[in-house]
Chains A and B, each alone.
Chain A
Amino acid sequence: MEFIIVKFVLVVVVFLVSLGIAAYSTYAERKIAAFLQDRVGPDRAGPFGILQPLADGVKMFMKEEIIPTHADKGLFILGPSIMMMTACMTGVVIPWGNTLIINGTEYPVQITDINIGILYIFGVVSIGVYGIMIGGWASNNKYSLMGAIRASSQMISYELAMGMSIIALVMMTGTLSIGEIVKQQEGMHWNVFVQPLGFILFIVCAFAECNRTPFDLPECETELVGGYHTEYSSMKLGFYLFAEYINMFISSAIIASLYFGGYNFPFIAQLGLPHNILTLLGTLIFFGKVFFFIFFFMWVRWTLPRFRYDQLMHVGWRVMIPLALFNILLTAVIVLWQNGQFN
């Protein structure tokens, strides 16, 4: 019973936190965009415009809900729902912190540490492609369809390279459980130092998976009006946009936990603080890392122009995948050498 209550509380907290962070990511995006362009950004709603996400939310709800006559109504509604659902589902396997000890029982600050955590994330993320594909298809609009085709082909090609960059990591750590991978990176033994190539491949693919610039071709405004969500309005459009920000948050969390030590930070043992305080501190550090990567996503967005479609496919298939394969080979050789197989 206690177990269920703790898990329920965790699920609700993670859900609310990811929604809150996604909402404030929209604000942060506008602010950072403004700062990088020597502007001020939204500053009217509340102090420093801090209530801007609320105003945006109200605006989204107030907009007219349009379902085009020739659209497939069921699928049209299903698209954004899938997108939002999968975006919220991925937060489940991320270790947000170490364990909390309450009344002598140890509770991990992670909803579930399934032993195939990485596979689970890949599975859920690849369902997310259906959200875009179905939305674009059901709109019965050529721009939406073009955007959906681009999105799905882009996401599928980059998922390959992403999966392969993870394989190298899995070979090193010997586990698919994200909780276990984070535990192994105690102190400063972060995976980014032993897998630099894998990290670069992973972060580039993460950009492509999130449809962020320079890989935001699916919603390329200059060519496709709005891409796969051209026909969407009101909160259904809001769901698509919101899901993108949740995905960005979750990607940042995954990058932070796979390559940057998750809740670990250097000199953790020397502090001599009680266990629960250390866990909370670790969670704060983890969120610091996540926020840095969210900032990095935005920073890149307001720096780079987008790729052309053939360049995107070229980079995906002829650069990323061979590099990922090379990384696997290199890691395999080093792992075998460390195990003394060559002596």
Chain B
Amino acid sequence: MQLTNRSEVVVNKVMTFKERLYFPAIISGLVITVKHLFKKRATVKYPEEIRPVAPIYRGLHVLKRDEQGRENCTACGLCAVACPAEAITMTAAERKKGEEHLYREEKYAAVYEINMLRCIFCGLCEEACPKEAIFLTDRMLPSDMNRANFIFGKDKLVEGVSNDSRIDISKRTNAHRKD
């Protein structure tokens, strides 16, 4: 069966005189490589220049706050259960009086950690979350020299309160919508 028109029948034939000279083949090879000298580079210079990603790209996680700046997460643990890589751990705590402006419901996550070296960025945590608290974003996981720094706590995961420090996830939520 012929798949492409580039296929050649392989025979163990003796090389012709022209082939044994090597030079015609070498020169044509040199011409091919020197042509590549002037071609467009395929490199994307990563930190300065980010390759465009799909709207549903699953990158670094974010823990969302609601409109009033309160954390959505109630430490129900469904994300940790759903996580196939067992990357998520959390400790729940009860909201005290006077903390209503910080946490949306009576229970919240005192500690919420994702081990980014375990995480496979499957997005099941996001699917499992009943409170729209955790989302995957189009941000990339930064590199580091130390393994301990890859365990992301709430300091790195929770988005800021002010408007400009919010992480936009509208592209993802819209992409999920069927209508």
Which residues of A approach B to under 8 Å, CB–CB? Answer: 35-40, 43, 200, 299-300, 302-304
Contacts and interface: CB of A to CB of B under 8 A. Distances in A.
Given A40-B45, A299-B34, 12 more contacts: A35-B37, A36-B34, A36-B37, A38-B39, A38-B42, A39-B41, A40-B41, A299-B30, A300-B26, A303-B26, A303-B29, A303-B33
A299 B33 contact: yes
Contacts of B40: 38
A49 to B, nearest CB: 12
Contacts of B39: 38
A302 B42 contact: no
A302 B43 contact: no
8 contacts: A35-B36, A36-B37, A38-B36, A38-B40, A40-B43, A300-B26, A302-B33, A303-B33
B41 A303 contact: no
Nearest to A32: B37
B51 to A, nearest CB: 14
B36 A37 contact: yes
A36 B29 contact: no
A300 B30 contact: yes
A310 to B, nearest CB: 14
A35 B34 CA distance: 9
A40 B42 CA distance: 8
A304 B26 contact: yes
Contacts of A302: 33
Contacts of B32: 303
Given A39-B42, A39-B43, A40-B45, A304 B37 contact: no
Interface centre among B23, B26, B36 (most CB of A within 10 A): B36
Contacts of A304: 26, 29
A304 B26 CA distance: 7
Contacts of B30: 299-300, 303
A39 B37 CA distance: 10
